[in-house]
C-alpha cells in the first residue's frame, strides 16, 4: 500500500519545488495562507504548520503584517552539517585524491530489501515502473536509485571507501558527474538542500571488497559511518563510509 503523505508535508514539498525550480526566488513573497488553503483544500491551520516548519528550517521568512517570503540566504546552503573528507584532509595539509570504482543506475527490479527500506520504496513504485516499460518496450526501465563506489586517499593511502545511493528522480544528473573531481556531498548539497539526517557509527570486520579497496587484510577492523539525509521530507541519499580502523578516528568538541 502507498503511504499517504500528510497534507502539511504536501504543502511543504510544493513550496520547495517552487523554490528549486526558480518560480519563487530568494526574497520573493509566496502565496498567502488563504490561497494555499484553497489550493490544497485544507484548513489555514494546516498551512500554518507547513509555513512554520519551513521558517524554522530557514527556508522561509515570515514578516508580521507583510506575509511570508523566501529566505534571503542562499537556499543551497545545507541545514545539516555534513563532514566532507576532502575538506578535512586538505585542512590537515594532506594530499587528497578520489578514485571512482563504479557508477550505475538501479532500476526497480534490481532493488534489494535494504535499499527499499532505506528509501521507503513500496510496491506501487514497481507497478508504475513495470507499466511504463510495458507501454514503451523500446525504452529502458527507469532508474530508481544511483549507486557510486569511491575510494578516498590521503597521501596516497586509501583511508575511506564510500558506497552511496541517491534518489535518481530528485537528482537526475548525479550519475553524470566526475566524482574524482567533484565531491558527492558537495554536489548533493548544492542541488538539493538537506533538511535533516541521521547516522550510526559501528565497528565491523571488513568484507573482501572493502578490505581490497582499503588495502587491508580481510576481516580487519573498520569503522563504518552510515548516514541517511532528507530533502523535501524524503530520503535523498544513503551512504556507507568504511574506514580502516588503524588509520581513522572520529572526534569533536562538546
Q: What is the largest CA-CA distance in the chain?
A: 65
pLDDT digits (tens, 9 = 90+) for 93-134: 889 999 999 999 999 989 999 999 999 887 655 555 445 444
Taking CA atoms, 150 is separated from 86, 92, 141, 213, 236, in Å, by 12, 21, 25, 9, 18
Q: How many Å apart are CA 77 and CA 188, to the nearest integer?
A: 11
Grid cell of 75 as nine digits:
537556499
All residues at 6 or more sequence positions from 97 whose CB lies less than 8 Å from its CB, including other chains: 152, 153, 156, 180
Tens digit of pLDDT for each residue in 33-81?
999 999 999 999 999 999 998 888 778 888 888 889 988 644 344 445 5
- How many CA atoms does the CB half-sphere of 247 hold within 13 Å? 20
Q: How far apart are CA 149 and CA 226, in angstroms?
A: 14
pLDDT of the residue at 81: 58
Q: Which of 152, 156, 143 is nearest to 185 (CA)?
A: 152
Query: What pTM, to 2 d.p., does this model score?
Result: 0.67
pLDDT at res. 2: 46
The three cell numbers of residue 152 are: 578516498
Amino acid at each position: 500500500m502507498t503511504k499517504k503523505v500528510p497534507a502539511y508535508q504536501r504543502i511543504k514539498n510544493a513550496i520547495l519545488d517552487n523554490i528549486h525550480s526558480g518560480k519563487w526566488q530568494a526574497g520573493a513573497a509566496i502565496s498567502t495562507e488563504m490561497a494555499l488553503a484553497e489550493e490544497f483544500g485544507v484548513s489555514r491551520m494546516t498551512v500554518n504548520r507547513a509555513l512554520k516548519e519551513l521558517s524554522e528550517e530557514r527556508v522561509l521568512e515570515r514578516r508580521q503584517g507583510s506575509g511570508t517570503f523566501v529566505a534571503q540566504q542562499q537556499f543551497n546552503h545545507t541545514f545539516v552539517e555534513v563532514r566532507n573528507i576532502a575538506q578535512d584532509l586538505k585542512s590537515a595539509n594532506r594530499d587528497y585524491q578520489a578514485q571512482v570504482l563504479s557508477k550505475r543506475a538501479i532500476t526497480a527490479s534490481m532493488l534489494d530489501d535494504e535499499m527499499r527500506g532505506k528509501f521507503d520504496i513500496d510496491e506501487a513504485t514497481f507497478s508504475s515502473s513495470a507499466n511504463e516499460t510495458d507501454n514503451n518496450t523500446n525504452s529502458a526501465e527507469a532508474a530508481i536509485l544511483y549507486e557510486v563506489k569511491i575510494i578516498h586517499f590521503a597521501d596516497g593511502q586509501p583511508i575511506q571507501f564510500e558506497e552511496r545511493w541517491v534518489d535518481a528522480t530528485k537528482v537526475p544528473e548525479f550519475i553524470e558527474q566526475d566524482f574524482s573531481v567533484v565531491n558527492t556531498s558537495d554536489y548533493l548539497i548544492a542541488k538539493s538542500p538537506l533538511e535533516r539526517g541521521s547516522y550510526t557509527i559501528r565497528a565491523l570486520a571488513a568484507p573482501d571488497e572493502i578490505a581490497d579497496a582499503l588495502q587491508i587484510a580481510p576481516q580487519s577492523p573498520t569503522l563504518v559511518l552510515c548516514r541517511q539525509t532528507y530533502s523535501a521530507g524524503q530520503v535523498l541519499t544513503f551512504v556507507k563510509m568504511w574506514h580502516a580502523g588503524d588509520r581513522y578516528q572520529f572526534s569533536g568538541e562538546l
